Amino acid sequence: MTDAAGAGDAIAIRAIEKRYGFGARSVAALDGLSLTVPAGKVYGLLGPNGAGKSTLLRIIAGLIRPDRGTVQIFGEAAGPAARRRLGMLVETPSFYPFLTAREHLQMLARLTGTTQRVEPVLRRVGILGAADKRVSSFSLGMKQRLGIGCALIGQPQAVVLDEPTNGLDPDGILEMRSLIRELTEQDGVTVLLSSHLLDEVERVCDHVAILRRGKLAAEGDVADLLDRQGRFFLAVDAPDVVLARLGAAAEAGDGGVYVQTAREAVPDLIQSLATSGVRIHEAKWIKPDLEQVFLSETRESGE
Ligand SMILES: Nc1ncnc2c1ncn2[C@@H]1O[C@H](COP(=O)(O)OP(=O)(O)OP(=O)(O)O)[C@@H](O)[C@H]1O
C-alpha cells in the first residue's frame, strides 16, 4: 500500500489515531491506522470486538473526529462536500413509525435537494411493493433495506454500512448480501462495510482489512488472503524424505504430507521434489477459510 491516495481510491485513511478518555485510563481505539478502499469494490472491515471498526466508520461518516490523521473521499479531504459523495448507515436507523417508506425517502430527497427519484431507490432496495405501508409494520430486514435506501437517496458513489446484517433472520441476511453485491456490480457503488462474521466477509467482499487493537493486522483481496495461508497436500512414495527436506513447514497426515506454503511457491516446490526423485501421486491445494486467516492474524504474540 502506498501513502498517497490514488486515482481509483474511494476512501483513503492515513495514520488515523483516536483515543477515548483522558490520561492513563484512556483507550486507543485507532492506533495509526492506514488503509485504502478501492473504488467499485465491496470492502470489508473485520475484527474482534473492540478492534476499532465502528470508530473508523464513525470518523469516515464525520460523526466523530480523529485525534490525528486524514481521511480522503474520492481524492478530496473529508468535509461536508466530499461526504455528499457517501451514503451512510452507521447507526441503527430510526424512522417515523406513522410515515411510509415512500414518504421517508421523499422527505430525505427534499432535504438533500437531490434530483434522484424515489421509485428506483425503492425498487433497488426491494421494498417497492411495500412503499406505501407505514414503517411501523416493517420487519427489521425491511427497515434495514429502507435504511440503505436512505443512504442511496443522495446518489452516492460509495456507501458505508456498519454491520448491515446484524439482527436479520437467515433470509434477510441472504437478501441483504445480494443487495450489497448488486449495488457494486450493477450500479458501480463502492461499499465499505464492517462485520464480525467471517463467512459473510468471505461471501460478500472483494477486499478485506482485518483490524486488531486499532491497527491493521492484514489487508488484501479476499482471494489472495486465502491463497497466502493455504496448505498443500502431497501423496508421495516416501513421505519421510519430504518431511526431512521441508522441515517445520511440513507435517505428516492422511497418508501424505501437508506443506504450509504460499500458493505461488507450489510449482517450484513440486518441481524441486520431482527433480530430486520424489514420486508424487497426488497434489492438491487446500484453501483455508477466512476464519483460519483471521485467527492467525489476530492472535496476539505469545498466545
Ligand atoms: N464512546 C466511547 N467511549 C469510550 N470508549 C469507547 C467508546 N467507543 C468505543 N470505545 C472503545 O474503543 C475501542 C474500539 O471500539 P469500537 O466500537 O470502535 O470497536 P469495534 O471493532 O466496532 O467493536 P464492536 O464489534 O464490539 O462494536 C474499544 O476498546 C471500545 O471499548
Atom of ligand 1 nearest to the CA of 49: 26
Q: From 218, 249, 245, 210, select the one nearest 232 (Cα to Cα).
A: 249
Give the max Cα distance, the chain.
77
The C-alpha cell that represents 56 in the structure block: 473508523
Please give the CATH number for the structural domain made up of 39-61+75-225.
Answer: 3.40.50.300
Distance CA 22, CA 297 (A): 29
- Test site for ligand 1: of 49, 59, 90, 298, most ligand atoms within 8 A of the Cβ: 49
Residue 300 pLDDT grade (very low, low, confident, very high; cuts 50, 70, 90)? low
Distance 146 CA to ligand 1 centre (A): 26
Q: What is the pLDDT of residue 298?
A: 67
CA of 51 to the centre of ligand 1 (A): 7
Q: Which atom of ligand 1 lies closest to the CA of 163?
A: 25
Closest-lying ligand 1 atom to the alpha carbon of residue 56: 18
Check residues 220 and 43 and name the one with the higher pLDDT: 43
Between the CA of 204 and the centroid of ligand 1 the distance, in Å, is 24
How many angstroms separate the CA atoms of 38 and 57, rounded?
Answer: 16
Q: Is the distance from CB of 207 to CB of 22 less than 8 angstroms?
A: no
Average pLDDT of 192-203?
Answer: 86
Under the banding of pLDDT at 50, 70 and 90, the label for residue 302 is very low
Whole-prediction pTM: 0.81
Where does the pLDDT of residue 294 fall: very low under 50, low under 70, confident under 90, or very high at 90 and above? confident
pLDDT of residue 303: 47
The pLDDT of residue 86 is 93
Q: Is the pLDDT of residue 181 over 90?
A: yes
Q: What is the ipTM of this complex?
A: 0.96
Supply the pLDDT for residue 9: 92
Residue 189, SS3 per DSSP: coil
* Alpha-helical runs (H) found in 153-289: 170-185, 198-204, 222-228, 239-246, 266-275
Higher-pLDDT residue of 42, 175: 42
pLDDT tier at 6, thresholds 50, 70, 90: low
Percent of the chain, pLDDT > 90?
A: 43
8 A C-beta contact, residue 285 and residue 230: yes
Mean pLDDT, rounded, for 66-84? 92
The pLDDT of residue 128 is 92
In the reported structure, the alpha carbon of residue 27 is separated from the centroid of ligand 1 by a whole-number distance in angstroms of 9
Smallest CA separation from ligand 1 atom 6, residue: 20
Residues within a 6 A CB radius of ligand 1: 20-21, 27, 29, 47, 49-55, 196
142: left (phi over 0), alpha (psi -120 to 50) or beta: alpha
More confidently predicted of 74 and 6: 74
Per-position b or e across 135-157, b if 16+ CB within 10 A of its CB: beebeebbbbbbbbbbbbbbebb
Q: Per-residue pLDDT tens for 216-267?
A: 988 888 887 777 777 889 998 888 888 888 888 888 888 889 988 878 888 9
Q: What is the pLDDT of residue 7?
A: 58
Q: Which of 31, 55, 196 to probe ligand 1 with, by most ligand atoms within 8 A of CB?
A: 55
Output DSSP code: residue 278: P
User: Which residue of 17, 25, 53 sits with most ligand 1 atoms within 8 Å of its CB, as the best mutation to test the pocket?
Assistant: 53
Probe target for ligand 1 pocket from 25, 35, 45, 54, with the most ligand atoms within 8 Å of CB: 54
| Sequence spans of domains, the chain | 39-61+75-225, 231-286
Got the DSSP string for 143-156? HHHHHHHHHHTT--
Q: What is the mean pLDDT of residues 65-87?
A: 92
Q: What are the C-alpha distances in Å from 250 to residues 233, 266, 303?
A: 10, 13, 22
**pLDDT, tens only, 101-150:** 999 999 999 988 877 789 999 998 889 999 999 999 998 888 989 999 99
**pLDDT tens, position by position, 147-180:** 999 999 988 999 999 988 887 888 888 888 999 9
Q: Measured in angstroms, how far is the CA atom of residue 55 from the centroid of ligand 1?
A: 6
Kindly give the number of the ligand 1 atom that is closest to the alpha carbon of 196: 25
